Structures are given as structure tokens and as C-alpha cells.
Structure 1
Amino acid sequence: MNLEQLHCVVVLAEELHFGRTARRLGVRQPTVSQHVRRLEDELGVSLFDRSTREVTPTAAGRAFVAEARHALRYVERARSAARRTARGEVGELSLGFVGSAVPELLPRLLRGFRRARPGVEVRVQELPSARQVEELFAGRLDMGILHAFEASSMPEGLTGEEVFRDALVAALPRRHPLAAQAPLPVSALAGEPFVLFPRHLGPALHDRVTRLTRAAGFEPRVVQEAAHMQTIVGLVAAETGVSIVPRTVAHLRQPDVEFRRLAPEPEPLSMWLVWRRGEASPVVRAFRAVVTDAEAPRER
């Protein structure tokens, strides 16, 4: 028993004529007769009554055709599911992201992808860059949005593309004496207590900040580290210290924090979309295609 035979019997039950069935299927009439006869031999029952000029299904034939229709529908659904999955139209995508991607980049990418691939379930998880790398290698993340590595330090086995550039700004308590200055010289922050992102979780951001301060002639006096941007901003609001953060963090709208441009203006911090090198997942390819089709990396 095969799908061709099932389809033939279903069409014959609709047409009630061997010649019309053959024309509809695009085969010769003997082929139709052969399919029906082989099925009947296999089942040990007659599926059609051929005693009249018009072919009619027997009781066994009617029961068989009803189930055959269900089987063909299930097969078609299976074919469709396989093809849609291979095209990245259905499935699941596990996506990590850093907190500074939330205000602008993440919504833009997710909106575009969900419009293009509504059948894919996207599961997002906020994680520092270093944790995303671990989860990518462990196979628990399909892709990650993270702060750029230095060109020479992208972990072997990963690859990616730049999707966003974010300026760095100073974050100060609202009543801080320096909060009125704009732009704010980096050197003015010398001696201030700093709240920074831990280097072991986000080396790109941490190293960029320390390079800025060293270029201005001082080492940051770190009094507190925090693994989430919201926490850093909250600690600045609590007057624990000052910080240097991606500009998009200003969208968190903490009323007790002022964000000020820096002078000289720092080089923007890149955000990358990263995945495992050689990744063959259709949904990963689909997400990359949507990102590629979007506009070039924005700069804030």
C-alpha cells in the first residue's frame, strides 16, 4: 500500500468512473485498475462494485476511502510542516541579548522577524555577553545579541555581524555637581566613585570604559559592580557613584539620573548578532536574512 494507491482510490470514489479518474490523475486507465486491484488483493476485500456501468464503492470501500482521506490530509500536513521548517517558517529560536539592546535594537529586530516569520516562536533571555557565549557553545542559545569583541578575540567557533552602534555617555545622580555640564569632559570624572559592569561578564564594555578613563589620565575608582544596566542606573540614582553606559540606557527614564554626552566623544560601542560557525538551523538562517534585509547598523 502506498500514497499513490490511496490517492487513486479516493479519486475513483469521487469520479465513479475509471476513465475520468485516469484523466484527472494524468495516468492511463489500466494504471488505475492496477492500483485498485492491488489494494483489494492486499486488503482481501472488494472496494468497488463493478457490476453496473458506473463504479460504486462497497461498504468496505466507503469505510476505507474515509480513512484514506484522513491519511492523505495528514501526509500533506507532514509535507507542509517539513517544507516550512526547512524554510525557517516554523520552529523555535532561542535568542540571548544584553540589557542595552532592549530600548531600541531588540524591539526592531523582533518586530521585523515576527512579521516575516509569524510561525516561529522566539524565546528571549537577557544575559551578559560572556554568559551568552557560554550558552551558545552549550547549545542552549541559537543566537546572541552582545557587545562586540575585539576583532582578534572573537571566540573560535562563533561568527556574527554588526547590527548596532551605541554611543557611550556619562550617567550621574541628578543632584551631582557635574550633571549640569554638557558635554562632560571624561577627565572631570577623575576621583569619582564608579559603578561598572563586571569585566568577566562584559569585557568589551568594561574595557572600553577603562580605556576612556586611562586616556583621560586616571583609573576609575570602582566602588560597585552590577551585572544589569537597570541595576547600574538604579545605583547611580541612589548616589552610589557615576557610570559610563551605552546611550540607549537613557531610555530607561530614571528621573534621578542625568545622562550627559562625553568629550571627547568616544568611539561608539558595537553590538553584534552572533551564532555558532557553520550553524545550519533554518530559523537561524531566517533570522539572519531578516536582519540583513533591514537597514544598515544604526548609530545612536
Structure 2
Amino acid sequence: MELRRIEYFIAVAEELHFSRAAERLGIAQPALSQQIKRLETALGVRLLTRNRRRVALTAAGAAFLPRARETVASAERAVRTARRTAAGELGRLVLGFVGSATAEVLPRVLPLLRRDYPELRLVLKEMTSTEQLTALGNGELDLGLLRPPSPPVPGLRARLVAREPLLAALPSGHPLAGRDRVGPGDLRGEPFVLFPREKGQWLHDLITDYCRGRGGAHPVVAQEAVMMQTIVALVAAGTGVSLVPASQRLIARPGVVFRSLVAGPMVDLAAMWSPSHETPACAAALGVLSGFPLSGSGRPLLG
């Protein structure tokens, strides 16, 4: 049964006149009569009675009319849903993120996503960078916000979202807290709060390489923790020192101070996705992330 024949029947039933219905539909009257006959043949019932003076609904036609309208309305809703989903306005986005993204990027990007795509269902998953890479590869995530590995992972695409400096996180009563800048030599022998290398190899190596710089040494790990918020909390509790992305200073926490590093490295936050699993919702989120105005360091972002 063709949808357009149902639409033709609705027009005739509402006009109760073949000529007016044909004009409304923009087709010839003989063609309209033929389509109505084919619809009746397909249904096996007469929907209309007609003679030279009048057109009327049969009992079957009167019963069929409201259901016909529901069918056409449902089809129109399906079309709108498909088009909006293709535009990223509807559907589901599974978004992974590292804990440090909650300091600045997520609080500013998520309201924009919800404003521009109010019917988009967001599923948020806090995961380490390594966990996200695995999840992106097997299709568990649509999009990840993570510290990108170097070299890039084959089969995944990346877009830089933010670039910010590393800072020294120190207990507020620490002797180094009185300095404006801290270098590798100052950190030599200090107990460190650091995440395991398998949870984020690239950032872990960036931190340890800096600590081994001029006058420094490999950090002495006093306590391991996975999430940046936990690392900063342990620093505030006096467990040790750490190096963290600059955006972490935006989260107010008593007991910890942040100091610039001498010739400190920059750290990236990237959006990563698999082209084989790219969805309209993913493309919509990438569009919002491309317009994210500033990184934690106040530097313009790269799209």
C-alpha cells in the first residue's frame, strides 16, 4: 500500500469532491480517480461512493480516515526524526573524558551541546586516556576527550581542543610554595603523587621527562592515583607534589598552590574518534568543540 495513495484518499475525503481534491494535490482528476480505485482494490473494500452530483464516505471509508491521517502523520514524524538525527539534533552520543576535562572544557561545552541539540541524548563516561583509546577502537565510545598519544594511533582521528602548560601542584605549606617558578632541580627527591604509566603513557612520560631535566631526577612516587582531582586532593593533604595541567587551578581547593615551571612543557587535550564509527551526533559535538574559545592557559584553541 503506497503512502501517497493514502494521502490522495485523505484529500478526497476532506474535500468530498474529486476536482477540488485533484487541484489541491496538483494532479489530474483522472489520475486521482485511478489511484483511489487502486487503493480500494488493495484494501478489498470501497471507501467512497461517487456519482455525478456527490462524493460520500462509505462506513469503511469513515472508519479508515482517522487511521489514514495517523499513518501519514507518523510517516512525517519519521522523516523529521531521520533528518534531525542526520543533522546531529537527535540520537545518542557516548562521550568519554579524562577527569581533567571537568575543570574547564566540559562545564563550558556541555551547556552549548544541550542548548543547540536539546534532544541529543548524552552518555558521559569518565575514563583514562588509555581506556578511551581501547573503547574508541572497539566502538564503545563515539567521541573521546583525552590526552593524545604520540605517535598517533592508526585508525583514529584527532582534533586539538586545548593546549595548556603543566604547573607544579604543591601543598600550601611547602617550601617551594613561596617561589614564583619551579624547575626540575627543585623537584629532585620530592615525593610525587603520580598516575600509573599504563593509564596515560604520553602525559606520564611528559611529566617524568621534565623531572629528569637539568639538575633533576626521575620522580620518587610516594602515591599513585588515577584521576587529576584525586591527585590534587592528595597534594592538598600533604602526600606529595605533582605536575598537573593548568586548568586544574580553576577548581578551588584549600591546601594546594600552583606554580609555573621553568621552561615547562605544554600539554594537549584532544577530541578523538573512529571514522568507522562516526555518527551525526559525533559531528555535531565536534562542531561545538571547534568553537570552544579558550584553553586553560588563555590561549586560542586550534580546531
Say yes or no: does 1:222 pair with 2:215. Answer: no
- Name 1:286's counterpart in structure 2: 284
Aligned-pair identity (%):
44
- Name 1:53's counterpart in structure 2: 53
| Post-superposition offset of 1:48 | 1.5
| Post-superposition offset of 1:278 | 4.1
What TM-score, normalized by structure 2, do the two folds share? 0.93
2: CA distance, partners of 1:211 / 1:40: 80
| Post-superposition offset of 1:198 | 1.3
| Post-superposition offset of 1:33 | 0.8
Q: Write the deviation string for residues 189-210 of structure 1: whole angstroms up to 9, x where unpaired.
A: 1111111121110112211111
User: How does 1:265-284 map onto structure 2 within 5 Å?
Assistant: 266-284=264-282
- Name 1:255's counterpart in structure 2: 254
1: CA distance, partners of 2:78 / 2:69: 14
Secondary structure, counterpart of 1:49 in structure 2 = strand
Say yes or no: does 1:173 pair with 2:184. Answer: no
- Name 1:235's counterpart in structure 2: 234
1: CA distance, partners of 2:52 / 2:192: 95
Contact 1:142 1:275 in 2 (8 A): yes
| Post-superposition offset of 1:41 | 2.5
167-176 or 43-52: which moved more?
43-52
Matched residue type, 1:229: M
| Post-superposition offset of 1:29 | 0.2
Provide closer, same or farther for how the CA distance between residues 4 and 160 of structure 1 changes in structure 2, counting only shifts above 3 A: same
Contact 2:162 2:268 in 1 (8 A): yes
- Name 1:38's counterpart in structure 2: 38
What TM-score, normalized by structure 1, do the two folds share? 0.93
| Post-superposition offset of 1:277 | 3.3
Secondary structure, counterpart of 1:285 in structure 2 = helix
- RMSD of aligned C-alpha atoms? 1.7
Provide closer, same or farther for how the CA distance between residues 39 and 198 of structure 1 changes in structure 2, counting only shifts above 3 A: same
User: How does 1:39-188 map onto structure 2 within 5 Å?
Assistant: 39-51=39-51, 53-150=53-150, 153-188=151-186
Q: Which runs of 5+ in 2 are unaligned?
A: 299-303
2: CA distance, partners of 1:39 / 1:219: 81
| Post-superposition offset of 1:296 | 7.1
Contact 2:85 2:91 in 1 (8 A): yes
| Post-superposition offset of 1:290 | 2.5
Provide closer, same or farther for how the CA distance between residues 7 and 297 of structure 1 changes in structure 2, counting only shifts above 3 A: same
| Post-superposition offset of 1:46 | 2.2
Q: Across the two proteins, how many residue pairs are aligned to each other?
A: 297
Matched residue type, 2:103: P
